Amino acid sequence: MSDSPAPPRPLEQNVFDEWPDAVRALFDGSSLASKTGFTASLLSVDTNGHVRTSLLGVGELYAPDSRTLCIALWPQARATRAIERNGRATLTFVCDEAFYQVQLRVAPLPCVEGDDSGLVYLICSIDSAETQSVRYARLTSGITFELEEEGKEAVLDRWKRQIEHLKRTAASR
C-alpha cells in the first residue's frame, strides 16, 4: 500500500440549504434587463411518470430570503399542473461556474389584488440542493436565450410586474 495521498477528485459537489450569495443576487428581482438570457429548468413529474420541463428566466424567479424561491408560471403549462398535483419540483441552472440542482417543496401563493396576468404564483422552499463543478473546466452557461428587439420592452415590463407580484405575495405570507 502506498502512503501517497489520493488524487484530487475531478468532481466537486457541495450541498447547501440556503441560496449562495451569487444565486441570491441573480434571483433578487433587480436589474432584469442585464440578466436576460439566463435560463433555469423547472422539472416536475406528471401522473404518467413523465418529466415535464418549464424554462424560466429571471423575470419568473424571485428569492425573498435565503431559503425561499417564488416562481411565476403559465397556468396551461404541463409542469404547472404536475407541480400543483404533487407539490414538488426540481430547479436546475448554471451560476457562478457551477451546475445547480435544487429539490423544492412547492405551495401556491395567493393572488394579489389587481393582478390580471393570469399567471400561477408559487412559493418554494429548498428541500435539498447541491452544486457540481469540475476543476478541469468552467461552466460558462446553461440554456440561454436572447430577447428579440421587437417586443423586448414588453417582456421586461411584464417581468417587472411579475417580480413585484412575487415580492408582494412573498412579503404577505
CATH number at residue 38: 2.30.110.10
Could you give the C-alpha distances from 136 to 8, 14, 89, 129, in angstroms and in order?
11, 17, 30, 23
Who's near 123: CB < 8 A, 6+ residues apart? 68, 69, 70, 71, 106, 107, 108, 109, 169, 170, 173
Question: For the chain, what is the domain count?
Answer: 1
**Structural domain includes residue 104:** yes
- Domain of 100? 12-172
- pTM exceeds 0.95 for this model: no
User: Which cell is 144 given?
Assistant: 440561454
pLDDT tens digits, 49-76: 999 999 999 999 999 999 999 999 998 9
User: Which cell is 5 given?
Assistant: 495521498
Greater confidence, 99 or 117? 99
**Structural domain includes residue 3:** no
Who's near 113: CB < 8 A, 6+ residues apart? none
